[in-house]
Amino acid sequence: MNRAAADAPCRCETLGVSAEAAAILLAFAMRESEAPAVELGSALERLDQRLRPATAEASREVLTRDLAACVRALQFHDRLMQQLAVIRNLLTRFGDPAHPLPTMAGFGAQRWEELLTELRERLAADTHDDLFELLVRTGGVGTPGGTAAGQAEGSSELF
Amino acid sequence: MARILAVDDSPSMRQLVKLALSSGGHEVDLATDGVEALEVAEKQQFDVVITDVNMPNMDGISLVRELRRRTNYRFVPLLMLTTESTAERKQQGKEAGATGWLVKPFDPDRLLSIVSKVLT
């Protein structure tokens, strides 16, 4: 066996790190989408509280119907989160037992950054930089690239 | 108008349950899991408790079992609101003392009508 082949990570190691990166990517995505869904729910509640007393009886029926549609539709966000949580948990089973994933609930930005730095060190030698870059861009923390991607969200440009 | 405790570990679901119930004129308090729900339920009396099943720290079925042990919740309607719909889980809920089992996603009108039905 030549030296390059001997130094290359085995397929199972590569899969393990990829799975770990994918699990973290999912955790990031779930974390980012929770707050907007909650904010949307709060906004609906405020709208309902303000509009209902001032609305005529006929319009109130429409308001109630539309509100019910919003409540039904928004629940699919929760369902998606549950499905993603199951996938995240499945992915963590493929991870390296020597690097068990920490419980990510309640992580602050600094802790995410530490996690990303640690993952970057382990990913640097293999072929999964693309996955990691996606992870960093989605998370919006940890690297200047990630920060730039975060700042670009919602921006517009005219030429 | 009833005083209702809604228990769910998902912030968005808590919000939606609260929105649906408060639009029907009910007063709604929230808890994030079974442990917090027990603490809240001991401090104040609720007319109805609506709980998710799968939650950290204490799940909904254990919460129902614990509430039924308390004399002031022996006859209070306890509704499960969950994505689970297997006969086995429903049976577990029934044996724990649940009054009803609602499967997510819920329809706000249906939820309000069930609450009104269990209160009568």
Predicted pLDDT at A146:
46
> Within a 10 A sphere around the Cβ of A96, how many other Cβ atoms?
15
pLDDT in tens, A73-106: 999 999 999 889 888 888 877 766 666 666 666 6
- Judged by average pLDDT, the poorest of A51-60, B7-16, B58-67 is A51-60
pLDDT in tens, A26-45: 887 888 888 899 999 999 98
| Residue B11: count of CB within 10 angstroms of its CB | 17
Residues near A123 by beta carbon (within 8 Å), at least 6 away in sequence: A17, A21, A129, A131, A132
In this model, does residue B57 exceed pLDDT 70?
yes
Q: Say whether pLDDT at A48 is over 80.
A: yes
Which B-chain residues 26-45 have CB contacts (< 8 A) with chain A? none
Give the global pTM.
0.76
Probe site for chain B from A78, A79, A81, A89 (most B CB atoms < 10 A): A78
Residues with Cβ < 8 Å from B7, sequence gap 6 or more?
B30, B31, B32, B33, B34, B36, B37, B49, B50, B51, B52, B55, B60, B63
Share of chain A above pLDDT 70, in %: 53
Give the per-residue pLDDT at A24: 79
Q: Determine if residue B97 is left, alpha or beta; phi over 0 gives left, psi from -120 to 50 gives alpha, anything else beta.
A: left
pLDDT in the model for residue A142: 47
Residues B19, A38: C-beta atoms closer than 8 Å? no
- Enumerate residues 72 to 111 of chain B having a beta carbon within 8 A of any beta carbon in chain A: 83, 104-109
B18 and A45 in contact by Cβ < 8 A?
yes
Q: Chain A: residue nearest B9 by CA?
A: A78
Give the rounded percent of residues in chain B with a pLDDT score beyond 90. 93
Annotate A133-153 with DSSP letters as a single string: HHHHHHHT-SSHHHHHHHHHT
Using pLDDT thresholds of 50, 70 and 90, give the confidence band for residue A135: low
Exposed/middle/buried for A10, CB within 10 Å: 0-12, 13-18, 19+? exposed
| pLDDT (average), residues B45-59 | 96
Q: How far is CA B36 from the centre of its chain?
A: 13
- pLDDT at residue B2 in the model: 96
What are the backbone dihedrals phi and psi of residue B30, each rounded to the nearest 5 degrees, phi first?
-125, 150
Q: In what order do the strands lie in the sheet with B48-51?
A: B27-31, B3-7, B48-51, B78-82, B100-103
**Helix or strand run (H / E) with residue A69:** helix A57-92
* Cβ contact, residue pair A75, B109, below 8 Å: no
First to last CA, chain A: 56
Distance CA B37, CA B53 (A): 13
Q: B118 pLDDT exceeds 60? A: yes
- Stronger pLDDT, B65 or A151, i.e. the higher one: B65
Q: Which residues of A touch B107 (CB under 8 A)?
A: 68, 72
Higher pLDDT, A45 or B7: B7
Using CB atoms, pick whichever of B16, B23, B83 lies closest to residue A74: B16
Whole-number pLDDT of residue A11: 58
What the block records as the tokens of B68 is 């039924």
Instruction: Decide if B35 contacts B67 (C-beta within 8 A).
Output: no
Nearest to B94, CA basis, from B78, B106, B113: B78
Q: Judge whether residue A124 has pLDDT over 60.
A: no
- In this prediction, residue B36 has a pLDDT band, given cuts at 50, 70 and 90, of very high
Tokens of A130: 């693309």
Tell me the chain A residues in contact with residue B23 when contact means C-beta distances shorter than 8 Å.
Answer: 48, 52, 64, 67
User: What's the gap in Å between the CA of A52 and the closest CA on chain B?
Assistant: 9
Confidence of residue B101 (pLDDT cuts 50, 70, 90): very high
Q: What is the pLDDT of residue B68?
A: 97
